[in-house]
Amino acid sequence: MSEQTGTAGSLGRHWRLRPSWQRGWPLYPALIFLIVIFLYPVSKLLWLSLFGSTGSMTSEHYERLYSSPLYFQVLKNTLFVSGWTAALCIIGGYPVAFLLSTTRERTKNSLILWVLLPFWTSFLVRTFAWIVLLGRNGAINNTLQSIGLTDGPIDILYSMPSVMVGMVHALMPLAVLTMLSVMETIDRNLMPAAYTMGARGGQAFWRIYFPLSLPGVAAAGLLVFITSLGFFITPALLGSPRQTMITQIIIQQVEEMLNYAFAGAISMLLLVTSLIVFYLYDRALGMSTLAGGETQGQKGAVKRGALATGFNAIGGLITAFLGRVSDWIAIGWEIIAGARPDRPPRISGRSTLRLLVALMLIFLAGPAFFIVPVSFTTQGFIEWPPSFFSMKWYEAVFEHSIWVTAITRSLFVGVVTATLAMLIGVPASFFLARQQFLGKTAALAFFLSPLILPRIIIAVALFYFYAPLGLIGTEIGLILGHTLLALPYVVITVMAVLKNYDQRLDQAASSLGAKPTRVLWHITMPLIKPGLVAAFLFAFVTSFDELTIALFISAGVATTLPKQMWDDAILQVSPTLAAISTLLLIFVTVVILLAEYFQRSARR
Amino acid sequence: MAQPKLKITDLRKTYGRVVALSGASLEMGEGEFLTLLGPSGSGKTTMLMMIAGLVQPDSGEVWIDDNLATYAPSHMRDIGMVFQNYALFPHLTVYENIAFPLRMRGVDNANIRREVTRVLDLIQLPDVQDRLPRALSGGQQQRIALARCIVYQPSIILMDEPLGALDKKLRDQMKLEIKHLHEELGITVLYVTHDQEEAMVMSDRICLMNDAKIEQLGSPEELYFRPRTMFAADFLGESNFLHVQVEDISGGDVLVRGGDGATFTVDNDKTRPVAKGDAVQAMVRPEMLQLIAPGEDAPNVLDGSLDEVILVGGVTKYYVRLKDGSQVVATGLTRGPVDGLEKNAAIRLGWNKENAVILTGEGA
């Protein structure tokens, strides 16, 4: 089309499509950012550990890893704790997700908030809450003694069970949301259809619903497992040395031994473990299940993993058996409850499910509130019930400059992070949501990968990357690292809003004579503004609550609020922390409620 | 009707303040095809769901095959149901989908194989056994959903707008297929739709629903020729309403006077008595109004002027302005070009007294 023809010339300008690489410009800032701040540092970490050429890392560290049984014991611990966490999160979260996916839209939206609220509440705050609940002088021991079930305090804290409680509590929302995304694609008429054909609840559930929800279960299991691998707050504060997890060792090497190279070697062990888990998952189930299950549209073109195929063979027998067992229970119950066709059943399976879910939601959202009364105690330690009433711990917070500085820094870093993440994330989301291009799935996976990789690996990789650039202990270093973590949330939120946006509105504006920039500013932006505000707030909270990267990058100089809380908690969990946590709880709850509010008005 | 296959009495359901169904009763006989017809929100789906046991009524009774089933769970009702989006189990093959109700009934494998093959032959899709539902076309999925219902011979088959997701041509074809299956197998079908044509083509009886209650229940002919309410007359087919006043009643005839002073004679329907002086509506179907030439005569005549002529295809529509300002439509078979008629030309429309229906009540 290089020749200018008469007809085209008469239009005044020669219109043609720009080459495809030029049209991808909205993607490039975010892509470049991810390559520089994420892909390059992580790859370099991998490279160093494999080839050890630069001298900062040699095989010496790996020999040390192999020679001492300690590290493999810790790895075994980590896998053990992560495995149980994943299993318990699925068992506890499945009924919640099931109820959410089968209930009315409005009930669902308000219940999801109860699942989300703890998800966004600081890990630190929630862990403190469990200390208040489970400690020797905690709420549970106190209750048990006052009703006479036990004579003296029993040890719940600093054990495997308390670590499990904390981890499951922390990660169950993730499991619920992941399973929910798959369950929502299941046709709501399938169970009723099974009932009309003569299936009892049990048969309909196990033979029809359960197999269809399995991709969600598998994805939730993987995400929870991988996330657990990088956990350190919960095992450090709620566990004993026997529950030490691999991330704690990394932090110990950095904080106490100052042995950065060896910390790098251990993170490699974690990274390799994660990659092996991903690989096994892909071989067994196929990665496609991670992206929201087998989409119904793809006719038979779904790649099935070995386990998925194997499931069909023996799975049918298992589900049939489970269906029969639940039916026996149901029949027994019908006899006891005396079901009759002339009156409504007094207790249905549905009400049992509601009760179960209510208990789960209390487990998820309840504990954080126990921290509030403790912050008003007159005593210098955490006990239950607290002896009221004193504001001195709040005064202590505001009198100490370290807290005020930390709070100010966290707010500053959070706002700048959110702004930066929006600046590079929003154009990318537009492109990802609206354009079809080769490798779109891969691009999306790349954008979301900072969420999936254990944070500690990113932290260690950034540490190596920053050190020669002098970014350690700087706010810029923190901001860049936090932007990396906030970016996926921005992309997810904005893409979700754009998915519901009727693009014909833009086309209508163009057809009425508006230039693309005017369409964007006068039509698109006002309509998606609530979604953008929500994305901004999510990004802000991500940064405001972040500890892992802050632990490595702040280097005791640029201390953020979570870092200061962590440093304090390592010494002793005091009422000052309860006061800080209460303030944080209120602040984050307000921000999240605002974000939810804006996101919901965007959906209208 | 020896023993009703299905009987519901005074069935009622409210959601908060919204009344979904306010006391409906009906009976269905063996082998009957009954359609619940009505606009959305008229309560037809609620009624179907309560019969299926998927929604629990507030009060009233449901009897299936002489067994009380008001609050019985769905699986004990011996019903079959075809859903709008078919509700085929996506992870099970066509064979396993159809086998599902049989497995739930503890049928042995040999019999399952025999029955599944039988129904697949019946719906003329013998070769799709091992495919997954998503590999089939919409029409094929619809047939599999039917087969899955037929295979276990339930007392009654409920269908919830089963043709809603198909395109027009396929819908016309499936309408006849369902009708033929019904005749061939003698199954009892309760069918829900908002499409009057579907209801007219397939049903033995139509239960017209409006505003959470039954408006009229009768054969398609009854509903078409003897609608009992304005809504019924309006919902099925096209209709002209003439505002008239009763002048005189003499035996089988009612003399009424229209807005322009002309009088007509209408059949007297004894089930709906009218009195002298009542303001009522006379409903006449457009195809019952005939253009008559000057000098010709008819039992009843309307005088007016032509507004518009529209050639729809097989029929031609004449929009005629009456002297009192109201407009009526007359429909005639297209016999040739209509160029001869000009706008505002004087038109005379004639009809017979048995072709009008006197309607009273709301809006009359």
Give A319-348 pLDDT, tens digit per residue. Answer: 778 888 888 887 777 777 667 777 777 666
Contact yes or no for A365/A117 (Cβ under 8 A) = yes
B224/B279 same-domain check: no
User: What is the 8-class DSSP label of residue B155?
Assistant: S
- Residue B112 pLDDT exceeds 70: yes
Mean pLDDT of A209-237: 89
Return the number of other C-beta atoms located less than 10 Å from residue A385's C-beta. Answer: 13
Contacts of A299 in chain B (CB under 8 A): 134-135
Which CA distances in Å does B207 have to A428, A566, B34?
55, 71, 7
The ipTM value here is 0.86
Structure tokens at B241: 């309403």
B182/B304 same-domain check: no
B227/B246 same-domain check: no
Contacts of A203 in chain B (CB under 8 A): 104
Angle between helices A246-255 and A69-102 (to 10 degrees): 120
Cβ distance of A197 and B101 shorter than 8 Å: yes
In a domain, A561, yes or no: yes
Partnered with residue B64 across adjacent β-strands are B6, B67
In a domain, B119, yes or no: yes
Partner-chain residue, chosen from B74, B89, B149, that has the shortest CB–CB distance to A190? B89
In a domain, B278, yes or no: yes
B186/B287 same-domain check: no
Distance CA A453, CA A286 (A): 18
In a domain, A215, yes or no: yes
In a domain, B267, yes or no: yes
Structure tokens at A353: 């499910």
Structure tokens at A524: 């698109």
- Report the b/e string of B92-119 with b at 16+ CB within 10 A: bbbbbbbbbbbbbeebeeeebeebbeeb
Helix H segments across A244-348?
Answer: 246-255, 260-285, 306-310, 316-337
Contacts of B69 in chain A (CB under 8 A): 341
pLDDT digits (tens, 9 = 90+) for B126-145: 999 999 999 999 889 999 99
In a domain, A1, yes or no: no
B93/B182 same-domain check: yes
Decide which of B233, B268, B300 is a domain's last residue. B233
B34/B151 same-domain check: yes
B284/B179 same-domain check: no
In a domain, A104, yes or no: yes
For residue B349, give its domain range. 238-359
CA-nearest residue to A327 within chain B is: B104
What is the pLDDT at residue A292?
40
A237/A96 same-domain check: yes
- Residue A103 pLDDT exceeds 90: no
What is the pLDDT at residue A3?
43
Q: Vertex A229, ends A444 and A38: CA angle to 5°?
A: 40
B200/B272 same-domain check: no
Distance CA A409, CA A560 (A): 6
In a domain, B137, yes or no: yes
- DSSP three-state, residue B81: strand
> Domains in chain A: how many in total?
2
C-alpha closest to that of A465 among A448, A480, A450: A480
Q: What is the mean pLDDT of chain A?
A: 82
Partner-chain residue, chosen from B56, B79, B91, that has the shortest CB–CB distance to A196? B79
Cβ distance of B135 and A300 shorter than 8 Å: yes
Contacts of B83 in chain A (CB under 8 A): 189, 192-193
Distance CA B300, CA A526 (A): 63
CA atoms within 13 A on the CB side of B194: 10
B150/B268 same-domain check: no
Q: What is the mean pLDDT of chain B?
A: 90
B227/B242 same-domain check: no
Structure tokens at B169: 């041509």
CATH number of the domain residue A406 falls in: 1.10.3720.10
What is the pLDDT at residue A112?
83
Chain A nearest-CA distance from B281, in A, is 44
B217/B248 same-domain check: no
In a domain, A137, yes or no: yes
Cβ distance of A198 and B87 shorter than 8 Å: no
Q: Quick one: residue B53, left, alpha or beta (phi over 0 = left, psi -120 to 50 = alpha)?
A: left
Decide which of B180, B212, B233 is a domain's last residue. B233
- pLDDT-derived band at B363 (thresholds 50, 70, 90) equals very low
In a domain, A125, yes or no: yes
Cβ distance of A341 and B70 shorter than 8 Å: yes
B104 touches chain A (CB under 8 A): yes
DSSP letters, B348-361, are EEEE-GGGEEEE-S
- Residue A39 pLDDT exceeds 70: yes
CATH number of the domain residue B90 falls in: 3.40.50.300
pTM reported for the whole predicted model: 0.83
B302/B206 same-domain check: no
In a domain, B364, yes or no: no
B132 touches chain A (CB under 8 A): yes
Interface test with A, best of B89, B146, B156 (most A CBs within 10 A): B89
Phi, psi of A435 (to 5 degrees): -105, 145
Distance CA B150, CA B133 (A): 18
- Residue A303 pLDDT exceeds 50: no
B251 vs B178, which has greater pLDDT? B178
Contacts of B152 in chain A (CB under 8 A): 197-198
User: Which of A6-10, A596-600, B31-35 has the highest average model confidence (pLDDT)?
Assistant: B31-35
- Residue A301 pLDDT exceeds 50: no
Interface of A with B in 300-359 (CB under 8 A): 300, 339-345
Helix H segments across B210-302?
Answer: 220-225, 230-235
A90 vs A389, which has greater pLDDT? A90
For residue A551, give its domain range. 392-604
Contacts of A195 in chain B (CB under 8 A): 53-54, 73-75
Q: Which of A201-205, A329-333, A419-423, B29-33 has the lowest mean pLDDT?
A: A329-333
Strands (E), B211-292: 213-218, 240-250, 253-258, 263-267, 279-284, 290-291
> Domains in chain B: how many in total?
2
Q: Vertex B32, ends B31 and B38: CA angle to 5°?
A: 150
In a domain, A35, yes or no: no
pLDDT digits (tens, 9 = 90+) for A402-442: 899 999 999 999 999 999 999 999 999 999 888 888 788 88
